[in-house]
Structure 1
Amino acid sequence: MKLVYVFDAYCGWSHGFSGTLREIVSRHPELPVEVVSGGLFTGSRRVPIREFGYVQGANAQIAEVTGAEFGDGYERLIADGSFVMDSEAAARGMAALREAAPGRAADLASALQNAFYVDGRSLSDPTTYRVVAEAAGLDADAVVAAFEAPEARAAAAADFRRAADLRVTGFPTLLLAGEGDSVAPLAHGRATADEIDQRLAASTATRTS
């Protein structure tokens, strides 16, 4: 069995879920974690952030409910409303980080969201991945090269297909995957670590009974 975490690096609720995910991963080191980028802002949704008038209100709610930080760097980045959230670029970056350290994908997803939501770094900028990689003790040159390589687009597209195949329609979603195509939902949007543990125990008991 393994956990499958479907998120989008530009999704505020995914950012709010990061602490819960870290707690679940620490409680269950026996469960590998597959991190999948969902593709929230692609195609016609790849527009200046001012087009999403709900963002600031939603962020305030996320901070209140989850305790997630939205830093001054982020506020400066989006202040004039022109910044474009490009989930395909973010997915390429996540794929590059995941390739460098597959076993640390959950932590790297959280670090990527902090780079945007706390530090105000664009996830379309190769420098962002250099900074995240260096902080994580990874080969920054290799990560940046992977982000910029043609294969990264294929990896992002594969992630989007994987999310669709899992029938994930919102982010974040945490699933428990078993044999074959068997998956059980553990969280959608938000949940506490204790709530997820209860669902995990129930799903595990069902699978082993």
Structure 2
Amino acid sequence: MKLIYVFDAYCGWSHGFSPTLREVISRHPELAVEVVSGGGQAGLGAEDAAAFGAPGTRTAAEADFARAAGLGVDGFPTLLAVDGERTTALARGRATADDVERRLAAFSATRPS
């Protein structure tokens, strides 16, 4: 199982979720964490990311935006648990580490044998 954190660099809620994410990671050091920059506020997209000018920025941004969309993420921040083909949202927007912990335990309890 792993966690996928999808955030928006322009979103205050994503920044505000940082303490929760740190706490969840400290409680579960056995879980890998993938971080995906899912997009920009107000509809900003890969074209806007290209404005930063670093080589490969546009390609990396497009890949992250596509990854977020492929995961079904439509709001930020979103924390997902992925176990094989199974995926569940542990947090969308505001959540405490205890909220995430309860959802993660419920997801783990439904793990196929």
Pairing of 1:43-62 with structure 2 (within 5 A): 43=45
Larger Rg: 1
Q: How does 1:36-47 map to 2 (within 5 A)?
A: 36-41=36-41, 42-43=44-45
Q: Distance in 1 between matches of 2:80 and 2:36?
A: 11
Match of 1:158, as an amino acid? A
> Which residue is 2:54 aligned to?
148
Alignment partner of 1:186 out of 59, 74, 90: 90
Q: Number of matched residues? A: 110
Structure 1: 4+ residue segments shifted above 6 A: none
Greater helix share, structure number: 1
> Within 2, Cα distance between the matches of 1:27 and 1:18?
14
Structure 2 equivalent of residue 12 of structure 1: 12
TM-score, with length taken from structure 2 = 0.88
1:163 and 2:68 aligned = yes
As a proportion of its length, which structure holds more strand? 2
Identity score, percent = 64
- 2:24 corresponds in structure 1 to 24
TM superposition shift of 1:40: 2.2
Structure 1 residue 169: Cα displacement: 0.6
Q: Unmatched 5+ residue regions in structure 2?
A: none
* Cα displacement (A) at 1:192: 0.5
- State the SS of the aligned residue for 2:101: helix
